[in-house]
């Protein structure tokens, strides 16, 4: 009993999530010595609110990566959903109806990606890249290339309102992350995602409908992108057509820092969100320490490479014998 | 006869294990030496040292009487030693000629490839190996057996006189094995030497001149094939006598009157057509045939891994199977021949692998997986199937082939299937594990299940089956009952209406 308990502790302490969380704490304490503002509640909240968009999308993306796929259209899907919800509200549609309709569009885009990738077997990178361009085109036509403003107060309240001093979107993200993380870890249906991503052929022979698993995961990722879009538009009080350009790659970066792999079969929701938080803390810290802003890109890139380097090294250590090729 | 190779007191240590321990032997020109032993006995480490991939900790290698310090595989090739690995190193998207002369293409003074000469040279080489293939053919279009020969041709064309073959026939059908043997014999007469690593002992008796047997890193025997029997070799390899390689016949096995499982008119375009056969409850039926006869494809068709037509009956009733999910639900298990490619999740632990077929059984009413249930189930399966591992959390990729295969069986037998189809049940695993797997299949039949064994190894089918259904050219050409079992009877049906063309 004692032995298995200590084993459990070891596995928790060596998990990617724990290491990331520990790094976050250590980094925060160190930075707060140089810049006491860093650990003020205002700064902490501003860092967290900044990752709500990427954090929500990462929930879907990490599942997609776990089943061996990816979605590069999430950024434009998010922007498009924002434009649609804004247009609907400006034209007088009730807020609730507008949100549901725009989320449906986002889900539809996810389903479209999923259909082409899992049913037809097209490459996810290319398909979703193409989809991203298509969405952007439609969006620019719809919005006439301009941001949409003049949203109703009740809609803005959703993104800007506070409970106990904390903005609603933060609650939405935390709720989504906690539920999705627990389900992805423990639910037998979602476990199929890992099997499909680790070895799709074996999963098929084992009676798992890989096509369906991937399709649903694409749909859910579309939903997450849509939710992020609605939250973003209501927080800003307007829908911009220029956002989302780098969202997909930022989110994938966060997922991989959090332990996911482009080869599939790995990754957790908590890890992905901690990855996003880590990147946000890093850039805030560099700002507060008045490091040249261009170095932030370098830092992000270096950490990404470091993350996969650690992965590769630990794989090598685990494998027995020497690779001949 | 001149001595081609001599090794003296070779020793190779890895952290925690002595892989090769004080091994000495020699090999003459024109000799085929079989290197035998169970998985993990040190055969591959020994051969890797001889072909320059690994460096010995101590001991010497002599090539043609001269001491050789081999630094790399390329170094060894330049000194006339080449190894043909089990995993082929051909580039499928390139032509035969480019593969044979990879990196050594004839070039003009500007470094441009002289294509005409390249193809002409290749054509001549192929002809000397009795292969009627256009050198322009893409390698991926050729059967595995021919690809294997191309590896040998490449070694020969590089001037290598000592060729190490690692399980060259493990994925070949009989006709291709014969082609391989014919070429080995011809090269042997020309003075080429071979080290032949295999698990198939009947092949050893036909092709090898001498055998050396390894166990736990040590050489435990060296005999001329004329002075040893298969049983003696097995005893040397395993270190104990295996009385019944093909398992003990369970006392209570009865074969039911009616078919427990029947396949009617199974057809899929370009793969197989009009396949009909049935299996009684408690019966073990073998499916024999040459490579390309459509056996594996047909089995995949039964579980609807691809689109096909036809009817599957279980206990006389039509059983609707429109997806692999349906097959599993109906208690039809198909255990793949390619455990690494599409059988197991090599990056995951044993317990996770066993979980894949038990998602429902090991979760609670809310659909949440229960860790305690998973661990208990995994522990039970590891014990029942005698998988040797330090822990149920061991990553599967780190297990030996035999243990991986047992794990695959444990995964599938865990769903207690009524119909158990197993494809190449013992490919690449050692004798001890083989005997255990045969016993498991017999025990399954004792419980009244219908067992189908697809295999390219005839002795295996003749040893464990009650009946053998033979396929050729994508359809069933006949069946052989136990009373009439013989290699000839099966081969006759397997060759019927079948002309292998490249």
Each domain of chain B, given as residue ranges in start order, spans: 3-238, 242-331+418-502, 343-416
**pLDDT at residue A321, rounded to an integer:** 43
Q: How far apart are CA B427 and CA B223, in angstroms?
A: 26
Distance between A226 CA and the closest CA of chain B, angstroms: 27
Q: Are A148 and A79 in contact (CB under 8 A)?
A: no
Q: How far apart are CA B427 and CA B198, in angstroms?
A: 11
Nearest CA in chain B to A204: B324
pLDDT score of B167 more than 70: yes
For every residue of A268-286, DSSP letters joined together read: -HHHHHHHHHHHHHHHHHH
Least confident of A312-321, B182-191, B366-375, B480-489: A312-321
CA A321 to chain centroid: 37
Distances in Å between the Cα of B141 and the Cα atoms of A16, B298, B501 are 44, 21, 11
The reply to whether residue A208 touches residue B327, judged by beta carbons under 8 angstroms, is no
**Maximal CA-CA distance, chain A:** 67
The reply to whether residue A191 touches residue B355, judged by beta carbons under 8 angstroms, is yes
Q: Which whole number is the average pLDDT over A147-157?
A: 88
Task: Please list, in sequence order, all residues whose beta carbon lies within 8 angstroms of the beta carbon of residue B427, skipping any fewer than 6 positions away.
Answer: B170, B171, B337
Question: What is the per-residue pLDDT across A262-303, written as a single tens digit (0 to 9) for each?
Answer: 888 999 999 999 999 998 888 888 888 888 888 888 888 888
Residue A325 placed within a domain? no
Question: What is the per-residue pLDDT across B451-480, written as a single tens digit (0 to 9) for each?
Answer: 999 998 888 899 899 999 999 888 999 999
**pLDDT at residue A324, rounded to an integer:** 42
To the question of domain B242-331+418-502 being in CATH 3.30.428.10, the answer is: no
Chain A 108-137, residues with CB within 8 Å of chain B CB atoms:
none
Give the CATH number of domain B3-238; options: 3.60.15.10, 3.40.50.1820, 3.40.50.300, 3.10.20.90: 3.40.50.300
Distances in Å between the Cα of A171 and the Cα atoms of A156, A174, A229 are 16, 5, 16
For every residue of A149-161, DSSP letters joined together read: ----HHHHHHHH-
A189 in B contact zone (CB under 8 Å)? yes
Residue B471's DSSP bridge partners are: B476
Q: Mapped to the 3 state alphabet, what secondary structure does B71-91 carry?
A: CCHHHHHHCCEEEECCCCCCC
* Dihedral angle computed from the Cα positions of residues A210, A215, A217 and A223, in that order, rounded to the nearest 10 degrees: -170
**Number of structural domains in chain A:** 1
ipTM score of complex: 0.83
**pLDDT at residue A263, rounded to an integer:** 87
Question: Roughly what angle, to the nearest 10 degrees, separates helices A168-186 and A153-160?
Answer: 60
Q: Which whole number is the average pLDDT over B8-32?
A: 88
Question: What is the per-residue pLDDT across B227-271, written as a single tens digit (0 to 9) for each?
Answer: 888 888 888 887 776 667 787 888 778 888 889 999 999 999 889
Q: Are B293 and B494 in contact (CB under 8 A)?
A: yes
Q: Would the CA dihedral through B431, B436, B437, B439 be positive or negative?
A: positive
The reply to whether residue B356 touches residue A206, judged by beta carbons under 8 angstroms, is yes
Confidence of residue A199 (pLDDT cuts 50, 70, 90): very high
Suggest the residue from B45, B47, B305, B356 to mutate for an interface test with chain A (most A CBs closer than 10 A).
B356
Least confident of A67-81, A172-186, A216-230, B210-224: B210-224
Task: Please list, in sequence order, all residues whose beta carbon lies within 8 angstroms of the beta carbon of residue B234, skipping any fewer than 6 positions away.
Answer: B201, B241, B242, B245, B431
Query: In CATH terms, are B3-238 and B242-331+418-502 the same topology?
Result: yes
Q: Are A264 and A276 in contact (CB under 8 A)?
A: no
Q: Which of A204, A197, A160, A111 is nearest to B347 (CA)?
A: A197
B389 in A contact zone (CB under 8 Å)? no
Which domain covers residue A242, as residue numbers? Answer: 20-308
Residue A8 placed within a domain? no
The reply to whether residue A199 touches residue B342, judged by beta carbons under 8 angstroms, is yes
Q: Name the residue facing B398 among A199, A201, A320 (closest C-beta).
A: A320
The reply to whether residue A206 touches residue B369, judged by beta carbons under 8 angstroms, is no
């Amino acid at each position: 009993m004692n032995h298995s308990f200590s084993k459990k502790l070891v596995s928790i302490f060596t998990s990617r999530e724990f290491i990331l969380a520990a790094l976050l704490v250590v980094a925060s304490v160190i930075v707060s010595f140089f810049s006491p503002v860093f650990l003020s509640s205002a700064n902490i909240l501003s860092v967290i609110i900044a990752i709500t968009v990427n954090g929500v999308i990462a929930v879907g993306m990490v599942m997609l990566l776990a089943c061996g796929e990816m979605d590069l259209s999430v950024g434009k899907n998010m922007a498009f959903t924002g434009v649609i919800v804004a247009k609907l509200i400006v034209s007088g549609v009730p807020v609730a109806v507008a949100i549901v309709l725009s989320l449906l569009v986002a889900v539809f885009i996810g389903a479209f990606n999923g259909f082409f990738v899992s049913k037809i077997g097209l490459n996810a990178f290319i398909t979703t890249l193409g989809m991203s361009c298509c969405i952007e085109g439609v969006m620019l036509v719809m919005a006439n290339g301009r941001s949409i403003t003049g949203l109703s107060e009740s809609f803005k309240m959703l993104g800007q309102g506070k409970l106990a001093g904390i903005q609603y979107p933060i609650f939405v993200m935390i709720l989504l992350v906690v539920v999705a993380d627990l389900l992805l870890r423990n639910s037998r249906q979602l476990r199929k995602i890992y099997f499909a991503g680790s070895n799709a052929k074996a999963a098929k022979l084992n009676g798992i409908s890989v096509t369906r698993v991937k399709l649903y995961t694409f749909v859910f990722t579309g939903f997450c992108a849509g939710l992020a879009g609605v939250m973003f538009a209501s927080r800003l009080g307007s829908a911009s057509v220029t956002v989302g350009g780098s969202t997909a790659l930022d989110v994938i970066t966060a997922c991989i820092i959090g332990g996911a792999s482009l080869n599939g079969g790995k990754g957790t929701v908590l890890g992905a969100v901690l990855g996003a938080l880590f990147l946000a803390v890093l850039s805030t810290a560099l700002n507060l320490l008045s490091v040249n802003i261009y170095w932030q890109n370098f830092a992000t890139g270096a950490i990404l490479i470091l993350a996969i380097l650690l992965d590769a090294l630990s794989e090598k250590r685990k494998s027995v014998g020497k690779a001949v090729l | 006869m001149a001595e081609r190779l001599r090794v003296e007191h070779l020793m190779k240590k890895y952290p925690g294990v002595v892989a090769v321990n004080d091994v000495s032997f020699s090999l003459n020109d024109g000799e085929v030496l079989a290197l035998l032993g169970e998985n993990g006995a040190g055969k591959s480490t020994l051969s890797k040292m001889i072909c320059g991939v690994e460096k010995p900790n101590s001991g010497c290698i002599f090539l043609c009487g001269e001491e050789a310090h081999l630094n790399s595989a390329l170094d060894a090739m330049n000194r006339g030693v080449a190894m043909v690995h089990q995993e082929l190193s051909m580039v499928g998207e390139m032509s035969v000629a480019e593969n044979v002369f990879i990196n050594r293409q004839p070039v003009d003074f500007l470094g441009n490839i002289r294509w005409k000469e390249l193809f002409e040279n290749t054509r001549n080489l192929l002809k000397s190996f009795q292969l009627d293939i256009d050198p322009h053919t893409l390698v991926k279009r050729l059967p595995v057996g021919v690809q294997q020969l191309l590896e040998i041709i490449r070694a020969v064309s590089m001037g290598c006189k000592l060729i190490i073959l690692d399980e060259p026939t493990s994925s070949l059908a009989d006709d291709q094995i014969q082609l391989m043997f014919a070429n080995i014999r011809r090269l042997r007469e020309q003075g080429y030497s071979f080290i032949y690593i295999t698990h198939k002992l009947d092949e050893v008796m036909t092709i090898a001149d001498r055998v050396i047997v390894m166990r736990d890193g040590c050489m435990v025997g060296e005999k001329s094939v004329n002075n040893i029997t298969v049983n003696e070799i097995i005893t040397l390899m395993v270190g104990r006598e295996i009385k019944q390689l093909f398992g003990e016949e369970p006392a209570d096995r009865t074969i039911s009157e009616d078919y427990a499982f029947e396949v009617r008119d199974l057809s899929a375009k370009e793969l197989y057509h009009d396949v009909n056969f049935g299996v009684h409850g408690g019966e073990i039926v073998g499916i024999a045939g040459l490579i390309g006869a459509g056996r594996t494809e047909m089995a995949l068709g039964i579980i609807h891994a691809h689109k096909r037509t036809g009817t599957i009956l279980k206990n006389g009733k039509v059983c609707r199977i429109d997806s692999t999910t349906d097959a599993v639900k109906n208690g039809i298990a198909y255990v793949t021949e390619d455990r690494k490619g599409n059988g197991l999740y090599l990056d995951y632990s044993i317990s996770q692998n066993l979980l894949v077929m038990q998602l429902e059984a090991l979760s609670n009413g809310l659909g949440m997986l229960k860790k305690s249930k998973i661990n208990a189930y995994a522990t039970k399966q590891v014990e029942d199937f005698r998988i040797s591992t330090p822990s149920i959390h061991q990553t599967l990729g780190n297990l030996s082939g035999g243990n991986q295969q047992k794990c695959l069986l444990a995964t599938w037998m865990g769903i207690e299937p009524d119909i158990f189809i197993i494809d190449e049940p013992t490919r690449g695993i050692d004798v001890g594990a083989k005997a255990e797997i045969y016993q498991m299949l017999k025990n399954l039949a004792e419980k009244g299940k219908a067992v189908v064994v697809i295999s390219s190894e005839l002795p295996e089918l003749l040893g464990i089956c009650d009946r053998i259904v033979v396929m050729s050219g994508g359809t069933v050409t006949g069946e052989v009952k136990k009373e009439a079992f013989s290699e000839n009877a099966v081969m006759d049906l397997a060759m019927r209406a079948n002309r292998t063309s490249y």
